[in-house]
Every structure is written in C-alpha cells, then in structure tokens.
Amino acid sequence: MFVDESKINVKGGDGGAGCKSFRREAHVPRGGPDGGNGGNGGDVVLQGDPSLSSLVDYKFKRHFKADRGIHGKGSQMHGANGEDIILKVPLGTIARDSETGEMLADITQPGERVVLARGGRGGRGNIQFVTPTRRAPAFAELGEPTYERWMTLEMKLMADAALVGFPSVGKSSLIARISAAKPKIADYPFTTLVPNLGVVRAGEYSFVVADVPGLIEGASEGKGLGHAFLRHIERSAAIVHMVDLTGGYEQRDVVDDLAVITNELERHAQELADRPTIIVGNKIDMPGTAEASERLAARCAELGLTYFAISTITGQGIDPLVLHLGNLVHDLRLVAAEDAQTYEKVYVPAVRSRDRTFEVQRTGSHAFEVTGRGIERMVIMTEMQNEEALAYLQRRFSKIGLEKALQDAGAQDGDDITIAAITFEFEGVGAVEDVDDVEDFDDVEEVVESEETPDLEEFAEESAHDAESDSADES
C-alpha cells in the first residue's frame, strides 16, 4: 500500500521525580540528604531510512509516546533516562505542526534525525539543594511533564527525473520499458493512481525515474488530485514531459497539451518552470502522427527545449532518450554536489531550561496571570504540599524579578496570581526574607521576545547556580 501523507500524535516522556531521602545507617550520625535525581524522559525522534518507500507504518498506528524517566531513589541513586522512540520514515519526508503549519523537519539524508517531541527534565533530589546554611533540605523536585502535539507527515518522492503529462500518454509504458518497474498498464485514463519508481541504466550511469499519475487542466488548483500528484515532482532534478502524438480520446492538439501541462507546473511552483525539461512525443509508430511530431518539434525549438519522438511499443527513439537523460542527470548531480552544504545530523527544537522570560497580564480587578515556559516549569515541578519547597519557590520568584513585575503591573497584597493553572495569594516583597541579598539576573525580561538555544549542560549549571545563590541568600 502506498501512503504519502499521515497525521500522528507524538509526546515525549515525562521526567522522573527527584527523591527526598536521608542517609540512615548504624554508626553514621547525621548522614544527611542522599536523594537521587529523576531520569530525563525519552524523546520522539524522526529518522530517515532509505529502505522505506511509503508512510504506511503511520496509517493505522498514530499515537507515539516515549518512555518516562525513572524516579530517583535514596543512597544517591539517580533514575534512568526514558528510552527514545525512533520513527523511521522514507527520504523526502516533511514534518509539520498540524496546528500552526510550521515545518519542523525535512528528511533528505539517510540517518538524518530530528527531535519532534523532547522528553521532560528529571526532577532534582534533595541532595542537590544542600547549601552551607540549608544542611538538610526536606524537599525535592517533581519531574517535568511534557505536552503532546499533532504532526503531519508528508512524503515527496526523491527521483532524478519525473515523467509528467496528461493521462494515458504512455508514462507507465515508458518506465516499464526502461526499468524493472511493473506499473499497471491499461487502455483507459487514470490507470496509475500512485507514483511508481524505477531504476534506469544509461551507459555508465544509472538514475531513478518517477512515473507521476496523469495531470489535467486545473491540477494546480487541486483538480484530479492535482496537489497530491504535483508534490512528487518538486524534488525531481529533471522533468520528462510526455505528449500523446495521436491526441488521445479527446483528439487534443499536441502544442496545446504542452502549454497546458507547462502552465500547471508553473502555477504549482514557479521553480518547476525553470527546471531542466525534456519533451517526449509518444506513439510515433501510429499512422498520421508525423505531422503532429513535426509541429511539436518546431514549438520545442522555439522554446529552446530538447525533443524526442519515441514509441513505447516498438522501442523507436528510446535508447537516445535514455542516454541523453542519463548524461543530463549526471551533470545535474555534479552541480548539486558543488553547491551542497555541510550536513548536520541531529536537529533539536527550541528551548529548554534557562528560559526565565515571562509575561504578566491582568485578568480581573484583583487577579493576574503569569505566563512563560520557564516560570511555569518552576511551578509544575514544585511539590505544593511541602512548605519548605514552597519557600524555595518563593525565593526563586524573587530572583527572577516576578514580584517586582507584579507590583509594576498593579498587584497588591491579597490579589490572586495564577501560574500554570495554580493560584497563589500575592504578598509584597517586604514579606520575603533576605530579599536585600537576592541576586539580580540580567537575562530577565517581562515579555517573551525570543527563545534561547538549548544547552545540553544546562541541568548541571542551573543546579550549581541555584545552590550558590541560595547560599548567598541565607548567609
């Protein structure tokens, strides 16, 4: 079954919770905290696989969720990271966010990988919150939850040459004659409903040809499944435009046929009009086609296009066409190799941890809402039933300038402040201990302008930074 489009739901694994634990054993008085960190959740990764030719694996199974991280344990035992899910797709697959339409991935190389849904960060154990003045922290972080998203996968065939034209002009007959492909061939229009690929040998070169289903006038507007077929031409290096010299069932004019299909290609994508194109007049063996072939050849000469007259039944003119096409593809490959850029293997979508930007909005006379990826993560990963954890969260709010931003927005004591669906009662800066010693952060912004590049060493840096700052706060 050939499937070139699918919609899937992906979700990274949640982070494991950190452990609140104390070392307790004989002859070790005051062993101190020893809770380990939770493991990071697994990622959902898209990977190019040249052995695949369809998205059929994603037609019936549509939901993919990576494993969650394992919770931390006592004795400084850190939880294991969740296992990634690898979604293998054919080369030429594009992944888009179904809600926004943003293109997140374009898989064109074998082994190329793109992270579609990143796993949540594991929570820190209580051993990570030890400072010279906080010797026995009785709290730990919860794991970071992740969010699911719907993705649209769209495959565009990657062929060296694409056979295009009206239905029943002989495209399937040609690919069957010059390659080992076995497409369905019959004497009625739209015999071919899905693209076919064939490998062609031309002297010392070989190349891949795609047989694209027949196009009709209005294909660029979606008529006759035009959009579904035209997208498979976009990645082809060259276009072989076939014309029926007999005029087909409708007795069409060959010059008009050339103009109609050329116009549809140009309207679908302007770059297709500039792509190297070969015009092929088929069925030259039929009576009365010599005049039509001459008229078509004359028109091609005016347009500066190469023309071949062939017969897929007798084989007339096919060998020169294949040799010319092989040389053309070889030259195009050399040009593409010179223009090729350095290939980066792994792409990771935006932002992780130190995103401390946030936005304050008034939602009522005595109500405010605070939004921002980083600040929402702080709240979600805090154990709300633990007073010591809440006090630590309050100090973090002070450090990132949240209380000052709320006061600037008009917040007063007793107002409701909502962050990540959790409502707090606002207390002014005067209610916070050690506020004079709070460190200022230069990267704090009240409105999100841009997102930072993810830092793979960020977890360790943030832990050390918080510990140092807390030490300064409480000393």
pLDDT per residue over 223-277, tens digit each?
Answer: 544 455 676 677 778 888 888 888 877 788 888 888 888 888 888 777 777 888 8
- Checking if the pLDDT of 152 tops 60, the result is yes
Residue 316: pLDDT over 80: yes
Spatial neighbors of 288 by CB under 8 A, at least 6 apart, are: 246
- Quick check: 192 and 171 in contact, CB under 8 A? yes
pLDDT for res 437 = 36
At 8 the pLDDT is 92
What is the rounded (10 degree) CA torsion for 271, 272, 278, 281? -150
Q: What percent of the chain has pLDDT over 70?
A: 78
- Of the candidates 429, 432, 398, 408, the one whose C-alpha atom is nearest the C-alpha of residue 359 is 408
Closest CA to 146 of 122, 126, 170, 111: 122
Q: What pLDDT shows up at residue 183?
A: 67
Q: How far is CA 425 from the centre of its chain?
A: 40
CA angle 397, 402, 403 (to 5 degrees): 95
Query: pLDDT at position 429, please?
Result: 53
Given a cut of 60, whether residue 472 has pLDDT beyond it is: no
Q: Can you give the pLDDT at residue 464?
A: 44
Report the range out of 25-34, 353-362, 410-419 with the highest average pLDDT. Answer: 410-419
The pLDDT, as a whole number, for residue 338 is: 63
Q: pLDDT grade, residue 215 (50/70/90)?
A: confident
Amino acid at 384: M
What's the mean pLDDT when you consider all of the chain?
Answer: 78
**pLDDT of 461 strictly over 70:** no
Structure tokens at 359: 């936005």
pLDDT of res. 70: 92
Cα gap 200→180, rounded to integer Å: 8
The answer, yes or no, to whether residue 65 has pLDDT greater than 90, is yes
pLDDT value at residue 109: 80
Six-digit token string for 116: 């579609």
Question: What is the reported pLDDT for 269?
Answer: 72
**How sure is the predictor about 356, in pLDDT bands with cuts at 50, 70 and 90?**
low
User: Does residue 430 register a pLDDT over 80?
Assistant: no
Segment 391-407 shows an average pLDDT of: 84
pLDDT tens track for 74-109: 888 999 999 999 999 888 888 888 888 888 888 888
pLDDT surpasses 70 at 462:
no
Question: If we measure between CA atoms, which residue out of 149, 147, 151 comes closest to residue 13?
Answer: 147
**What percentage of residues in the chain have a pLDDT greater than 90?**
13
Q: How far apart are CA 274 and CA 375, in angstroms?
A: 50
pLDDT confidence of 450, banded at 50, 70, 90?
A: very low
91-108 per-residue burial string, b: 16 or more CB within 10 A, e: under 16: bbbbbbeeeeeeebbbbe
The larger pLDDT score, comparing residue 10 to residue 195, is at 10
